[in-house]
Amino acid sequence: MIKRDAMESVIDVGSGFFLSIIIQITIFPLFELHPTIFENFQIALIFTVVSMTRSTLWRRFFRKRR
């Protein structure tokens, strides 16, 4: 069950990983932010890990309530 939850989170959040990089490249300059591609990758990776952790914890919380 835990492996399945983790895999689901990886697929769910991971699919947005590259989209987030594209969004950052598009939006950040509008706010006068000009990170390098590598920095955009790092930012996206941080948010991806946080999102995967959050999804897994919420899923476990609601399954325990059932």
pLDDT, tens digit, for every residue of 6-42?
887 778 777 888 889 999 999 999 999 999 999 999 9
End-to-end CA distance of the chain: 15
The answer to whether 5 and 64 have CB atoms below 8 angstroms apart is no
The domain ranges of the chain are 2-65
- pLDDT band at 56; cut points 50, 70, 90: confident
Query: In this structure, what token pair is assigned to residue 61?
Result: 């919380």
> Which pLDDT does position 60 carry in this prediction?
92
Tell me the C-alpha distance between 66 and 12, whole Å.
23
Q: Crossing angle of helices 37-65/17-27, nearest 10°?
A: 130
Instruction: For residue 16, give the amino acid letter.
Output: G
